[in-house]
């Protein structure tokens, strides 16, 4: 697995979603990205069998248009 360039990732992700990122926020964002990458690395080491994985159901909101009388 290659190492992530956190600065490049932060710039690309913020640009992708149109998120303004002030320079004073970057250290906190970088700390979180590093923390999240560390958590992902721990999970990536767990050997899981695809047959054992069960996806949770997706919750969708009820259609509220019917309740607008």
Per residue in 9-27, pLDDT tens? 999 999 999 999 999 999 9
**Residue 66's pLDDT band (boundaries 50, 70, 90)?**
low
Residues 56-64: what's their mean pLDDT? 84
Which contiguous run of DSSP H or E holds residue 7? helix 6-17
- Burial (CB count within 10 angstroms: exposed 0-12, middle 13-18, buried 19+), residue 14: middle
Structure confidence by residue, pLDDT tens digits, 23-47: 999 999 999 999 999 999 998 898 8
**Extended strands (E) in the chain:** none
Q: What is the pTM of this model?
A: 0.61
Alpha-carbon distances of 56 from 8, 37, 53, 68, rounded to whole Å: 32, 23, 10, 31
């Amino acid at each position: 697995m290659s190492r992530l360039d956190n600065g490049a990732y932060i710039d690309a992700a913020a640009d992708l979603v149109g998120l303004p990122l002030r320079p004073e926020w970057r250290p906190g964002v970088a700390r979180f990205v590093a923390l999240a990458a560390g958590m992902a690395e721990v999970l990536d080491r767990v050997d899981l069998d695809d047959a054992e994985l069960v996806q949770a159901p997706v919750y969708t909101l009820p259609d509220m248009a019917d309740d607008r009388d």
